[in-house]
Amino acid sequence: MTERTGRVVLALALAGGVLTGCARADGAAAPAGTVAPGGSVAFDLFTHCGIDEARIGSAWFEAEEPLSDGSGNPPAGWGNPVQHGTMTLRSAAEAVFTDDAGHRVVFRVRPRATGFKRLCA
């Protein structure tokens, strides 16, 4: 499959798929509603081991700038194990998490990813 074909498939999957959040080490994800690129949905971001990745629909995204306290936990001011907020799918390749506390994290799709980069206990 060419990279362009892969991007088209990903875009279609995200546009018609379910936006999910709160991914856990066991790979499960809690449904959070349906959203197309440009749309937003309530989202529980898994923060227990820091803010680094998010599963959105069937795609795996990584934080543009991962956040942690240096010991593998979320930074001060973040919920643990999750932070409640909103995920906005800006395009098939970019999503932005925001919340009422003023946090903002940009996520970019990890092409060809099939799971989290690392599992958290």
Q: CB neighbours of 5 closer than 8 A, spacing ≥ 6?
A: none
Cα dist from 88 to 5, 22, 120, whole Å = 24, 15, 25
Q: pTM surpassing 0.75?
A: no
Tens-digit pLDDT string for the chain (121 aa) = 555 444 434 443 443 333 334 343 333 333 444 567 889 999 999 999 999 999 988 889 999 999 999 998 999 999 999 999 999 999 999 999 999 999 999 999 999 999 988 887 6
The residue extents of the domains of the chain are 3-109
Return the ∠ at Cα 70 (arms to 52 and 99), rounded to 5°: 45
Single-letter amino acid code for the residue at 29: A
Instruction: Return the pLDDT at 87.
Output: 97
Instruction: Return the pLDDT at 32.
Output: 42
- Which residues, listed in sequence order, are joined to residue 96 by a DSSP beta bridge? 88, 106
